[in-house]
Amino acid sequence: MKKNTSLVLDAFLWVAFMALAAIVAFNLLVRDKYRNFGAVSFGSFPEFVLKMPEGKSFDRHQIKGYVWAVHTGPSADDAMGIARQLAIIAKQTVSGKRHLNVLTVSQEFASLKPLMPYHYIAGGNSQDISRMFAETGTITSSTVFLVDQNSIIRGRYDFKDVDQYRAFQRDLMRLL
């Protein structure tokens, strides 16, 4: 009788512990979602293939292994305005062998020139670019995505908002 009671108690404690763990995990995910930064808030960066100005292809596989800031703009001027802000951040955050890579995506990519060594420019038609950002919701010309070395979108930031600009810098330092 005593052995049977012990098994019931163990089973009850196990169920209670698992329920508590699930509640904690759920709350962490919700917190990350509201902070615009987290391990699974936005999922993996989607598959894509774009062209670089020199004619080479640029795809998702080239993102793996590095920390990236990915952004797009409706025009070359919009895209390069954000790229200039990211170049300043990249220069401030160089950390040994780790650095921020910047991917500027624009339909008007052919005439654009990189601003720094780790700045890549790619483009395609509007459907290619829309498909690339389709899973991330509505984006603006000032939206920047922080992508980790596993191609997971770790954050989404609006650079017109000073607080989100600073949050990008803080979150970038966590990844580097």
Structure tokens that stand for 154 in this block: 């770790």
Give CA angle at 157 (112, 43), nearest 5°: 95
Contacts of 86 (CB under 8 A, 6+ apart): 69, 71, 100, 102, 119, 144
For 122, list phi and psi in degrees, rounded to 5. -145, 160
Report how far apart, in Å, the C-alpha atoms of 145 and of each of 56, 97, 101, 128, 149 are: 23, 22, 12, 17, 13
- Single-letter amino acid code for the residue at 52: M
119-122/100-105 β-pairing: parallel
Task: Return the pLDDT at 40.
Answer: 53
Q: Could you tell me if 164 and 144 are in contact, meaning their C-beta atoms sit under 8 angstroms apart?
A: no
Structure tokens that stand for 161 in this block: 């908002």
Q: Which residues of the chain have pLDDT under 70?
A: 1-4, 28-41, 95-98
pTM: 0.75
HSE-CB at 14 with a 13 A cutoff on CA atoms is 6
